[in-house]
Structure 1
Amino acid sequence: MEINNSVVRRAVAADAAAVADVWLRSFAAALPAVRRAHTDDQVRSWFREVVVPGQETWVATVDGSVVGMMVLDGEDLDQLYLDPDWQGQGIGGRLVRLAKQRRPAGLALWTFQVNVSARRFYERHGFIAAESTDGHRNEEREPDIRYVWCPGEQEP
């Protein structure tokens, strides 16, 4: 089910605080046992100074409030987070479809192995697990999985 009053658009500078807040709420809800590498203030600064102004950042809004965010970095779906209250309502799928439209040659992403709901979500949307690591390359030092999507393969 998709929300009728939702809008997906490019993020602007004024969205940075709301984007960071969605990221923080989502991370806390989905990954309570994962050690965060940065404080809340550092996360907010990163979104305000680096991500929103310098990367392809998209927001999903409902009635004008940011409820989801996505960052594309080259061929990587670098960030995709939804406010926990808005999960399961089609917004994440809408963001993934947009990512596929923006990167029709294919996408890759990383997610933590413990994030079973994210793994199921990406697999439902045609991503295939391509590599698992012990987390030595991420700041959290958490085992992760690289997923890839290639057009025409395993489309839902």
Structure 2
Amino acid sequence: MTSGDGIVLRRAVATDAGAAADVWLRSFAAALPTVVRPRTDDDVRGHFRDVVVPLRETWVAVETAAESRTVGVMVLDGDLLSQLYLDPGWRGRGVGDRFVALAKERSPRGLTLWTFQVNKPAHRFYERHGFVAVEHTDGSGNEEREPDVRYVWRP
């Protein structure tokens, strides 16, 4: 899936795991500076290599001008949009919109996702795409122990 912005969305392969993890790390640090990460950078990279890319429906956004530069990652697990992270320099440039459109194509009966309560820009982004907040928690169910919100999209 190529568009005029020079970005291709494609399924991740094993060799994408490191770059996808690095996007996750940069994005998490930029968007969620107050959230304590329970995993080290090496743990995150190992998780992408051993679990995320081989066992989940993982997509990457790659610059076509520099095919090796990954600027986004999205992970689907059934109807769960489990991860959507963009390189901080690529926020607000339509890549996230394209990922959400792809997720809706892949799961046309609906999607659910979790995001942290402190991540107000994510709330606005998902609400703009038709997601509705249906549950707020105290964070006891996630490894970060950070209050979160479950969003649902139904066509």
Fold conserved between structures, TM > 0.5: yes
Q: 2:102 is matched with which residue?
A: 98
Shift of 1:4: 2.5
Q: 1:143 is matched with which residue?
A: 147
> Structure 1 stretches (4+) deviating beyond 6 angstroms?
none
1:82 aligns to 2:83 (yes or no): no
1:57 aligns to 2:61 (yes or no): no
**Which amino acid is 2:33 matched to?**
P
Q: 2:9 is matched with which residue?
A: 8
* TM-score, normalised by the number of residues in structure 2: 0.95
Q: Deviations over 1:39-95 (max 9, x none)?
A: 000000000011001110000111311100000001100000000000000000000
**Which amino acid is 1:43 matched to?**
V
Q: 1:35 is matched with which residue?
A: 36
Distance 1:14 1:71 in 2: 16
Among the aligned pairs, what percent are the same residue?
67
Q: Deviations over 1:100-145 (max 9, x none)?
A: 0000000000000000111110000110000000000000000000
RMSD: 0.8
Instruction: Specify the SS of the correspondent of 1:69.
Output: strand
| Count of residues in correspondence between the two structures | 150
Shift of 1:37: 1.1
Q: Which runs of 5+ in 2 are unaligned?
A: none
* TM-score, normalised by the number of residues in structure 1: 0.94
Q: Is the 8 A contact 1:106 1:149 kept in 2?
A: yes
Distance 2:5 2:43 in 1: 34
**Which amino acid is 1:50 matched to?**
V
Q: Is the 8 A contact 1:3 1:89 kept in 2?
A: no
